[in-house]
Amino acid sequence: MSRQVVDLLVFCPHPDDAEFGMAGTVAKLTAAGKTIVYVIITGGEKGSEDKSMDAEALKTIRREEQLEAAKVLGVKEVEFLGFIDGCLEDNYDLRLAVTRQIRRYKPVAVATTDPYRRYLLHRDHRITGLAVCEAVYPFARNLPAFPELTLENLEPHVVKEMLFWNSDDPNYFVDITYSFSRKLQALECHSSQLDSLNSQDLESWLRKRAQEAAEGQCYQLAESFHRVIVNY
């Protein structure tokens, strides 16, 4: 199925990851008329320490939370791939699923979590980042890579730019001084993940991180990324 080109395709290991990583940037882009689509890799069904919480029930809750957060940010389309939280593998099925979304939506740019963050990093984050990197180059642009996609009439697509949040090596900064409030509002939609924080604590923590990201810049609050321009 062919679709209109979107400006940015955001791949998230779990519901809420994009909000923590780049919601201020997303809000700023949608306000400027850019089209953004979310792709949520796993269901997030293991994101609770509550022994009484049923995994399928949590998966449903987190799906609804993600849809509400996307609405706050102006993201009108969210894809849920349904891989099992905590069990993601770097395999053919994942690479196929990610490549399919790139060929469907034909994004100018792709964003995801940085798989090269050192030491402490959730396995699903590392594997998602790597799968997205490899889908952008070479699989999304390589016609023979996945014959299944040719049968689905999904032609090769070349992504021009990649953004990685939570990077140890940021080289690109976005001023979110005026979109910070929407980042906070979007994150508050993920109430199942914020039981230990009240709104004031969340805002204080987010603001401190954004101030640190903006250090040395000419604005107060920022989100930072490692940016890659795809020249191949």
| pLDDT (tens digit per residue) in 76-89 | 999 999 999 999 99
pLDDT digits (tens, 9 = 90+) for 67-116: 999 999 999 999 999 999 999 999 999 999 999 999 999 999 999 999 99
How far does the chain reach from its first CA to its final CA, in angstroms?
A: 26
What is the C-alpha to C-alpha distance for residues 31 and 25, in angstroms, rounded to an integer? 10
Give me 47's structure tokens.
């994101």
Chain segment 29-48, per-residue pLDDT in tens: 999 999 999 999 999 999 88
Distance of alpha carbon 26 from alpha carbon 171, whole angstroms: 18
The neighbour count for residue 67, using CB atoms within 10 Å, is: 16
Taking Cα atoms as reference points, which of 176, 180, 168, 71 lies closest to residue 120?
168
What pLDDT, on the 0 to 100 scale, is given for residue 108? Answer: 98
Which residues have a Cβ under 8 Å from the Cβ of 50 and sit 6 or more positions away?
A: none
Query: What's the pLDDT tens digit per position in 122-136?
Result: 999 999 999 999 999
Q: Percent of the chain scored above 90 by pLDDT? A: 90
Cα–Cα distance measured from residue 24 to residue 172, given in angstroms and rounded to the nearest whole number = 14
* CA angle centred on 29, ends 130 and 95, rounded to 5°: 20
Lowest-pLDDT choice from 54-58, 64-68, 109-113? 54-58
Q: How far apart are CA 191 and CA 9, in angstroms?
A: 25
Q: Please give the pLDDT value at position 163.
A: 98
Residues 129, 10: Cα–Cα separation, whole Å: 11
| pLDDT, tens digit, 9 for 90 and up, residues 198-226 | 667 899 999 999 999 999 999 999 999 99
Whether cis (ω within 30° of 0) applies to the bond prior to 138 is yes
SS3 187: helix
What is the per-residue pLDDT for 160?
A: 98
Q: Where are the domains of the chain?
A: 8-229
- Share the mean pLDDT of the chain: 95
- Thinking of the domain 8-229, which architecture would CATH place it in? 3-Layer(aba) Sandwich (3.40)
Decide: pTM greater than 0.85.
Answer: yes
For residues 56-77, average pLDDT = 97
Residue 1, pLDDT score: 44
pLDDT at 2 over 60: no
Average pLDDT over residues 174-180: 98
Beta-carbon-side half-sphere exposure of residue 75 (alpha carbons within 13 Å): 29
- Residue 171: which pLDDT band, with cuts at 50, 70 and 90? very high
186-200 pLDDT, tens digit per residue, is 999 999 998 766 667
Alpha carbon 44 to chain centroid, angstroms:
13
